[in-house]
Amino acid sequence: MNVIYTGEMDTRLFKNVIGETISELLREDENVVYLDADLMNCIGTAKLPKETDRAINCGIAEANMIGIACGLSAAGFKPIVHTFGPFASRRCYDQVFLSGGYAGNSITVIGTDPGVTATFNGGTHMPFEDIALYRAIPNAIIVDITDVSMLKDFLRQAKDLPGIKYLRVGRKGSAKVYSEDSHFQIGKGIVLREGKDAAIIACGIMVHEAMQAAEILSQDGIEVAVIDIFTIKPLDVELVKTYARKTGTIVTAENHNKIGGLYSAVKDALDGEAKTGYVAVEDEFGEVGPQDYLQKRFGLTSDHIARKVKETINKK
Amino acid sequence: MQAKQKKELMEFACRIRIGIVEEIKARGFGHIGGSLSIADLLAVLYGEIMNYDPKNPKMEDRDKLVCSKGHAGPAVYAALALKGFFPYENLKTLNQPGTNLPSHCDRKKTPGIDMTTGSLGQGTSLAVGIALGDKLKGRNCRTFLIVGDGETNEGQVWEAAMFTAAKKVNNLVWIIDNNKKQLDGYTCDVLNIFNLEEKFRAFGFDAITVDGNDVEQVYEALSRKAIDKPIAIVLNTVKGKGIKEIEEAAGNHSMAPKPEDCDRWLDILHKELAELA
C-alpha cells in the first residue's frame, strides 16, 4: 500500500466502482448474493438481475431486504446489501441488530451518500447518525471509505468476514489517496503525514480536508500528523494513543454528528490522555444543497479543521 | 388420513401441550396461550410433514421451521424435545439463567431452532431468505413459517408476503395462527386485521383456511403442493387450546400460574392422553 496523495481528484466515481466490484464478486464467488431496494440504477447494477438470479431487487422495502439477506446468510450465502445510508441504518436498524447481529448472521451493508454527500436529496436522505447506530451493535465493523482503492479492497474483504459490516461511501468521487491494489487492514489506521504539534484523525471525505488543513497549518509553522482512521469500529486505539502521547493534541474530523461517531469513539479511547477537539456536525439535521455549501454550512472544511487544531493546541 | 395416524398425531399434540405446561410450571410464568394454540400444527409438522434428523440438526437439505411468533418458543421446544433434539428434562430450564431455552426462539442456543425470532414480523423476511437460499442452492426442501395473527399488525409481514409471491418463493409455506387474540385483547378490538385469507389471496397466494386445532385438516393443508403460487394456510385456532380454563382466561397471552394450577392442567392433559391411547 502506497500513499499517493497530491490533492488530485480521482476521475473514477464511487458508484461505478461499487457496481463493477459487485458484478465481479458475483462472477467470482457463487456464494455472493446482492440485494438492493430499488436503487440499482444509482450504482449501475440494474442489468444484473437479468444476468444472475443472485442479484435481487427487493423493491422499496429495506427492513424486508435486510431480513432476507440474513436468511440467505443462514442458508450459506454471503449477502451484500445496498441502499442509501439513512435507509441502510435508521430504516432497518432493528432488522440489522436482531435478524443480523443477535441472530449470528453475516451481512455486508453498503450505505451510500453519507452525511453531506447526500447533497440535493437533502435532509431526509442525509445520515449524520449512521455510525452512531452501527457502533451500538455489538461486534459490528464500520468503515468510512476514503477512496476508490480502499472501496475495492474492502468490498472484497467484507464479504468473507463474519457478522455485521457497514460500509459508508459516497457515490461521487474523492481525492486519490492510495495506490491501486492497496490492501487495508481492518482496525489499523494509516498515518498519511507526520507532525509533532498535533494529530488530525479523520475518516471518509474528511481525510482530504485534513490533508489540506495540514498544508494550511504548515504555512503557519504548525506541523500536524494526519491519520486516516477509516475503521471507526473496531477503532485503532493503539495508534490513537500513540499520537496522543507524541503530540498531546488530537482533533477528529468526520462527516457525521459529533454524538456517537468518530469523535465519541476517540474520546472514549483516550480517556483524557490528550487535549481533544472535533470537527463534526453539531447535533443538527441535514438540509439540501451542493456539497461545498453543505460542508461550509456544517463546518466540515479544511479551514474549520485548521482553526480547530489551533484552538485545541492553545487549550489550557 | 388413517385413524391410527390421526390418533398418533393427536397424542403427539397432547404430549406437546404437557411439555408446554411443564416448562411454564418450572419457571412459574410464560407465553402459554399462543404456545398451546399451535401444538396441533407442530405435531403435524414434526410428526408427518417435515424432513429432519434430530442427530444432525444442521443437515443442509432438511425442511426448516421459522416460528416468527418467537414467543411460542415453549411449544417448539416441547416438540423438539419429544423428537430427540435434546433431553426432555431440559424443558424445565425454560428461562432459567444460562438456559438454552429462552422465552423467544434462538438459533444460536437451541438444537433444531432454525432461526432466531422475537421481534415480531422479522421472522417472515428471514424465512423468505432461508427458502430463497435453498432454492438458489437447488436443495429439495421446504421452509414452514408460522406467523401470529396479531403479528400481522407489523408492516414487515406484508413486505415479506409481497416478495414471496412476486419472486415465486414457492418452497416457503406461510402458516398464520389465527387465534383471534393478542396481548391487549381480541385482534378485532386492538387492530382489526379483517379477513386474512382474502388478504393473502390479494397478495398473490394460494390461500386457504382450515381448523388449525384439527390435525387431519392441518395435515391435508400442509400436504398441498405449491404450483404457480406460494401457499398460505390460515389456521383457525383457539388461544390456550386444550385447557378450557386457559382458553377462557381473558389475559392468556402470558400467564403466571401457581404450581397447583399447572398440576390440575397436567391432570386434564394426561387423562386426555390416556383416553387417546
CB A240 within 8 A of CB A270: yes
Which residues on chain B are in Cβ contact (under 8 Å) with A56?
132, 167
* Prediction pTM value: 0.96
B124 touches chain A (CB under 8 A): yes
A199 touches chain B (CB under 8 A): no
Find cell 404450483 and name the residue: B227
**Cβ of A75 and B159 within 8 Å?**
no
Distances (CA, A) of B133 to A60, A116, A162, A192, B27: 21, 37, 18, 43, 37
| Minimal CA separation from A235 to chain B, in Å | 27
Task: Give the separation between CA A168 and CA A84, rounded to whole angstroms.
Answer: 9
Q: What is the pLDDT of residues B103-159, one digit of tens each?
A: 999 999 999 999 999 999 999 999 999 999 999 999 999 999 999 999 999 999 999
CB A250 within 8 A of CB A243: yes
Task: Give the separation between CA B149 and CA B34, rounded to whole angstroms.
Answer: 10
Assembly ipTM: 0.95
Terminal-to-terminal C-alpha distance of chain A:
39
CA-CA-CA-CA dihedral for B231, B234, B239, B241, to nearest 10: -80
| Minimal CA separation from B32 to chain A, in Å | 24
Instruction: Parse chain A into domains and list their residue ranges.
Output: 14-169, 190-313
Give me the pLDDT at residue B115, please: 98
CB nearest B127 (choices: A59, A71, A77): A71
CB nearest A71 (choices: B108, B118, B129): B129
Does residue B172 carry a pLDDT above 90?
Answer: yes
**Cβ of A75 and B127 within 8 Å?**
no
* Distance from chain centroid for Cα A91: 18
**Cβ of A69 and B136 within 8 Å?**
no
Average pLDDT over residues B184-197: 96
A104 touches chain B (CB under 8 A): yes
Nearest CA in chain A to B114: A74
Nearest CA in chain B to A59: B163
Segment 57-96 of chain A within 8 Å of chain B by CB = 58-59, 61, 63-77, 94-95
Task: Give the separation between CA A268 and CA A16, rounded to whole angstroms.
Answer: 36
| Minimal CA separation from B115 to chain A, in Å | 7
Amino acid at A161: L
Phi-psi region of B18 (alpha: psi -120 to 50; beta: other; left: phi over 0): alpha
CATH code of the domain in which B131 resides: 3.40.50.970
CB B40 within 8 A of CB B213: yes
* Domain A190-313, CATH: 3.40.50.920
Which residues on chain A are in Cβ contact (under 8 Å) with B168?
none
Cβ–Cβ pairs < 8 A, chains A and B: 106
The residue among B64, B108, B109, B132 with the most chain A CBs within 10 A of its CB, best to mutate, is B132
B168 touches chain A (CB under 8 A): no
Average pLDDT over residues B51-58: 98
Terminal-to-terminal C-alpha distance of chain B:
18
CB nearest B156 (choices: A63, A73, A77): A63
CB B116 within 8 A of CB A102: yes
**Cβ of B128 and A74 within 8 Å?**
no
Q: What is the mean pLDDT of chain B?
A: 97
The residue among A64, A83, A91, A106 with the most chain B CBs within 10 A of its CB, best to mutate, is A64
| Minimal CA separation from B134 to chain A, in Å | 6
Nearest CA in chain B to A61: B159
Which residues on chain B are in Cβ contact (under 8 Å) with A101?
none
Q: Under CATH, to which class is A14-169 assigned?
A: alpha beta
Average pLDDT over residues B256-261: 97
| Minimal CA separation from A107 to chain B, in Å | 12
CB A15 within 8 A of CB A42: yes
A101 touches chain B (CB under 8 A): no
Give me the pLDDT at residue A28, please: 98
Number of domains in chain B: 1
Give me the pLDDT at residue B204, please: 98
Of residues B191, B202, B192, the one with CA closest to residue B232: B202
DSSP state of A137: S
Give me the pLDDT at residue B17, please: 98
Q: How confident is the model at residue B228 (pLDDT cuts 50, 70, 90)?
A: very high
Which residues on chain A are in Cβ contact (under 8 Å) with B159?
61, 63-64
pLDDT along chain A (316 residues), means of 10: 95 97 98 98 97 98 98 98 98 98 98 98 97 98 98 98 98 96 97 98 98 98 98 98 98 98 97 95 98 98 98 93
Average pLDDT over residues B51-66: 98
**Cβ of B122 and A102 within 8 Å?**
no
In this structure, is the dihedral angle defined by the CA atoms of residues B165, B171, B177 and B183, taken in order, positive or negative?
negative
Give me the pLDDT at residue B74, please: 98
Nearest CA in chain B to A49: B167
Give me the pLDDT at residue B277, please: 87
Q: Which residues form the domain of B176?
A: 3-276
Which residues on chain A are in Cβ contact (under 8 Å) with B118?
98
CB B255 within 8 A of CB B249: yes
Task: Give the separation between CA A91 and CA A155, rounded to whole angstroms.
Answer: 22
CB proximity list for A181: less than 8 A, separation 6 or greater: A149
**Cβ of B136 and A33 within 8 Å?**
yes
**Cβ of A99 and B125 within 8 Å?**
yes
Q: What is the pLDDT of residues A127-147, one digit of tens each?
A: 999 999 999 999 999 999 999
* Distance from chain centroid for Cα B28: 22
**Cβ of A64 and B160 within 8 Å?**
yes
Give me the pLDDT at residue A192, please: 98
Segment 124-163 of chain A within 8 Å of chain B by CB = none
The residue among A35, A68, A77, A98 with the most chain B CBs within 10 A of its CB, best to mutate, is A68
**Cβ of A77 and B162 within 8 Å?**
no
Which residues on chain A are in Cβ contact (under 8 Å) with B167?
56
Give me the pLDDT at residue A1, please: 85
**Cβ of A67 and B128 within 8 Å?**
yes
